[in-house]
Copies of this chain bind each other. A is one copy, B any other.
């Protein structure tokens, strides 16, 4: 028969689906013999049933009654006993942690009849304080009365009594406050505060069920990708009191340092206090070690309990505990959150301690953490002034002068931080010009956050402490006022805002991975980073032994190629050639555009040939022995021309010719225009020149004793006939070059039609490389630039997207095209080599998809190479 209520003694840590995380861990501690107050968990199933039916399951009341009697027996107190009442706490707790969403009602069971009994146990003041807390928590949780109604009454009483804080209020004051609270309760509900303890308990449990479906909870789950149909469990526990005097107290403890991963016992302790007081920060907490001085026995017991928990959970645990009159009670534990650095350090430590193996260690870290460790960071050794914190929306560390207006940001010289209440598309120029973006409103899906991530700008958003006054060109943060032009620093990795300019240093992990002598450790900054860089190195090395996916880099210059190689790239998966036409060579492109007839075109191409050849020699040398996949020119040529506005006042003949060319080449949707292979077929000789430069560069490298491995990649192919034409021409060109090694010719798969006809295309392609940026844009029918600035934030809020499809591959749509192309491409050409060179190649979730889709390699920007290596290894671990 189905059971809706589990005694703590009847569950274990693996029953999170049914008991929620908190309930499962309470059960586990109980099974381990740790001192947990007696209690029970009402299952998520009961919650789901209640939400579906609108009424609680019929059996629930009786089951709860049975379990309540067990608590009474254990505690030797009775619920509702006026002499020595058992009080209960009720806390929500679902499968996944939802911080800030937790519903808690303490001291259930207090009534006008039992308050005296509690006073007999803990004193008058204690009892009335508990009672007023119950009424306000119950009122807000069960009846939806605004907290402020109770807070205002409390503040009024303080004013009346002329006291600054609650502890100065007397028992009589609190007794009077209970009366006031009851009136507030009646005014809002029309009935008196319930005097039946059973009614209090049942009402609270159902209110917790209902809390699952509040708008706030739904929004939170959507943001965190937690399914809506899980429901929450409810934990009912005998009250214990850390606020019963100097022999009592409450605290939190960690089995290792959650900031650095260092071994040892960490935490905070607050004597004579209840749980929420620790968090509220009203009084300064003591370091946990102080407890050893205050109550050695309890401290030793706690340390023993932590040891038991670490061995059981094989991981860092965090713990909430209460000491009531010299007796330790464990109120909660869980595998503790930690910083990215601590995650790596702890995982490696646990391997050394023989607790877990390397596979398990690799499961305990992820690419997002490694990515955060690779951003430059502020040097905080000068103890800079923190003035605010917000949502870490786009990682990085940026200092600059505060500017409150997008236009002025765009016009400013020197680094600026754009500060806005929130941003909108009008702010794009300013966001582009700024080093960092700071807003006082909005979360991870706000316009500022989405656009900044897309642009790679550092961003802290939703810093609620800021009062931004754009008209006054200033913001206030507490007592600090920052005016336009003042220097501030924003840390997009942590969400912290500092006053003044802070020194920025590359991450020690990057310095270690690069192993570059020019990038030597910075004095002091790397102190203590030894365990971290060692842990990262070990886990990356293990990932390399496991992974099936190759990891290459997108790199266009010898410098980038060399860096990528140091980061562990096994080649270049995307070497763009258009970047080689910038700077002084832009003039040649202009001449190419203006050339009349094949002869003039040919003359310009002749001039470009030696320049391109030199480019390729450099990249091939930097990647000697490894494949270098060179993509022929892709963007529309008019991108190399000056913008129309600049030419409007054309005076010279050249300017007028350029103006005419800009007008002629204007495209209403350049992304969908004359690009890639279309350009190659439209300008005879252009691709041939590039192919010749590649072939000749390779031949020169061979003659110089190198091992060049160039590959030629054709962009934007939509039909096999395009590829066949370019391939035939390329082969003709290459056949005439002595000493060149065999050069594979392949294609990008970035146009949806290419994926749909991959079987045809494979007949002409020696490799495929998915260009997931364009593939995403075309398959969804939106351009990244236009989308991120306009409706992407809205779509994230509405839940149309769970994540931006430009960050993480859309498995259902784009993924389907990729799977189809892999299947049919390899069907037509068994063993066809297939990779990806879009930005998704360095995104952790996407790397897993590419592993699952059986790709051969991913290629990503050099700084993402370690992330991709790590995730490719993790993706290869057996799935649980």
A residues lining the B interface (CB < 8 Å): 424-426, 660, 663-665, 667-674, 678, 681-682, 716, 718-719, 721-722, 725, 750-753, 756-757, 760, 774, 777-783, 785-787, 790-791, 794-795, 798-800, 810, 812-814, 816-817
Give the complex CA separation of A751 and B816 in angstroms: 14
Name the residue on B nearest A781 (C-beta). Answer: B751
Please tell me which one of the listed residues B674, B760, B790 contacts residue A673 in the complex, with CB atoms under 8 A apart: B790
Give the complex CA separation of A781 and B773 in angstroms: 12
B786 touches A725 (CB 8 A): no
User: Which residues from B are CB-within-8-Å of A753?
Assistant: 779-781, 810, 813-814
Give the complex CA separation of A816 and B813 in angstroms: 15
Nearest chain B CB to A647's CB is how many angstroms away? Answer: 14
As for how many copies of this chain the complex holds, the number is 2
Q: Given A664-B426, A812-B757, answer yes or no on A672-B798 (Cβ-Cβ < 8 Å).
A: no
B800 touches A672 (CB 8 A): no
A779 touches B756 (CB 8 A): yes
Q: Given A721-B799, A780-B751, A781-B774, answer yes or no on A672-B756 (Cβ-Cβ < 8 Å).
A: no
Nearest chain B CB to A419's CB is how many angstroms away? Answer: 20
User: Which residues from B are CB-within-8-Å of A800?
Assistant: 681, 719, 721-722, 725
A681 touches B798 (CB 8 A): yes
User: Which residues from B are CB-within-8-Å of A781?
Assistant: 671-672, 716, 718, 750-753, 774, 778
B681 touches A795 (CB 8 A): yes
User: Which residues from B are CB-within-8-Å of A813?
Assistant: 718-719, 752-753, 756-757
Q: Given A669-B785, A718-B813, A725-B798, answer yes or no on A660-B779 (Cβ-Cβ < 8 Å).
A: no
Q: Given A756-B816, A790-B673, answer yes or no on A785-B668 (Cβ-Cβ < 8 Å).
A: yes
Give the complex CA separation of A800 and B723 in angstroms: 10
Give the complex CA separation of A672 and B424 in angstroms: 19
Please tell me which one of the listed residues B757, B783, B812 contacts residue A672 in the complex, with CB atoms under 8 A apart: B783
Give the complex CA separation of A725 and B800 in angstroms: 9
Please tell me which one of the listed residues B665, B672, B750, B817 contacts residue A425 in the complex, with CB atoms under 8 A apart: B665
User: Which residues from B are CB-within-8-Å of A783?
Assistant: 667-669, 672-673
User: Which residues from B are CB-within-8-Å of A798?
Assistant: 681, 721, 725
User: Which residues from B are CB-within-8-Å of A667?
Assistant: 783, 785-786, 790
User: Which residues from B are CB-within-8-Å of A681?
Assistant: 791, 794-795, 798, 800
Give the complex CA separation of A800 and B717 in angstroms: 11
Residue pairs across A and B with Cβ atoms less than 8 A apart, 20 shown, are A426-B660, A667-B790, A668-B786, A669-B671, A669-B672, A672-B781, A672-B783, A678-B790, A681-B798, A716-B781, A721-B798, A725-B798, A751-B780, A751-B781, A753-B813, A753-B814, A756-B812, A756-B813, A757-B813, A760-B812
Give the complex CA separation of A753 and B818 in angstroms: 12
Give the complex CA separation of A170 and B753 in angstroms: 68
A786 touches B673 (CB 8 A): yes
A670 touches B673 (CB 8 A): no
Nearest chain B CB to A646's CB is how many angstroms away? Answer: 14
Name the residue on B nearest A760 (C-beta). Answer: B812
Give the complex CA separation of A113 and B777 in angstroms: 77
Nearest chain B CB to A430's CB is how many angstroms away? Answer: 13
Nearest chain B CB to A536's CB is how many angstroms away? Answer: 38
User: Which residues from B are CB-within-8-Å of A779?
Assistant: 751-753, 756, 778
Nearest chain B CB to A851's CB is how many angstroms away? Answer: 21
A718 touches B778 (CB 8 A): no
A786 touches B664 (CB 8 A): no
Closest 5 CB pairs of A and B: A673-B786, A672-B783, A753-B813, A751-B781, A669-B783
User: Which residues from B are CB-within-8-Å of A678?
Assistant: 782, 790-791, 795
Give the complex CA separation of A425 and B721 in angstroms: 24
Give the complex CA separation of A671 and B753 in angstroms: 18
Give the complex CA separation of A255 and B564 in angstroms: 78
Name the residue on B nearest A429 (C-beta). Answer: B663
Nearest chain B CB to A333's CB is how many angstroms away? Answer: 38
Give the complex CA separation of A664 and B424 in angstroms: 9
Name the residue on B nearest A668 (C-beta). Answer: B785
User: Which residues from B are CB-within-8-Å of A722?
Assistant: 800
User: Which residues from B are CB-within-8-Å of A665?
Assistant: 425
Q: Given A779-B753, A780-B753, answer yes or no on A673-B787 (Cβ-Cβ < 8 Å).
A: yes
User: Which residues from B are CB-within-8-Å of A777?
Assistant: 672
A786 touches B752 (CB 8 A): no
Give the complex CA separation of A670 and B781 in angstroms: 10
Nearest chain B CB to A597's CB is how many angstroms away? Answer: 13
Nearest chain B CB to A723's CB is how many angstroms away? Answer: 10
Give the complex CA separation of A719 and B425 in angstroms: 24
B782 touches A673 (CB 8 A): yes
User: Which residues from B are CB-within-8-Å of A664?
Assistant: 424-426
User: Which residues from B are CB-within-8-Å of A786?
Assistant: 667-670, 672-674
Nearest chain B CB to A661's CB is how many angstroms away? Answer: 10
Nearest chain B CB to A115's CB is how many angstroms away? Answer: 50
Nearest chain B CB to A524's CB is how many angstroms away? Answer: 46
Nearest chain B CB to A72's CB is how many angstroms away? Answer: 49
Give the complex CA separation of A756 and B817 in angstroms: 8
Give the complex CA separation of A795 and B725 in angstroms: 11
Q: Given A667-B783, A668-B671, A668-B786, answer yes or no on A778-B752 (Cβ-Cβ < 8 Å).
A: yes
Name the residue on B nearest A425 (C-beta). Answer: B664
Give the complex CA separation of A668 and B667 in angstroms: 10
Name the residue on B nearest A665 (C-beta). Answer: B425
User: Which residues from B are CB-within-8-Å of A716?
Assistant: 781
Nearest chain B CB to A271's CB is how many angstroms away? Answer: 52
User: Which residues from B are CB-within-8-Å of A794?
Assistant: 681-682
User: Which residues from B are CB-within-8-Å of A670?
Assistant: 668-669, 786
User: Which residues from B are CB-within-8-Å of A816?
Assistant: 756-757
User: Which residues from B are CB-within-8-Å of A669?
Assistant: 669-672, 783, 785-786
Give the complex CA separation of A66 and B425 in angstroms: 85
Give the complex CA separation of A682 and B670 in angstroms: 25
Nearest chain B CB to A702's CB is how many angstroms away? Answer: 34
User: Which residues from B are CB-within-8-Å of A674?
Assistant: 786, 790-791
Nearest chain B CB to A762's CB is how many angstroms away? Answer: 14
Residue of A426, A785, A786, A816 most packed against chain B (CB within 10 A): A786
Give the complex CA separation of A593 and B660 in angstroms: 33
Nearest chain B CB to A772's CB is how many angstroms away? Answer: 13
Give the complex CA separation of A751 and B753 in angstroms: 12
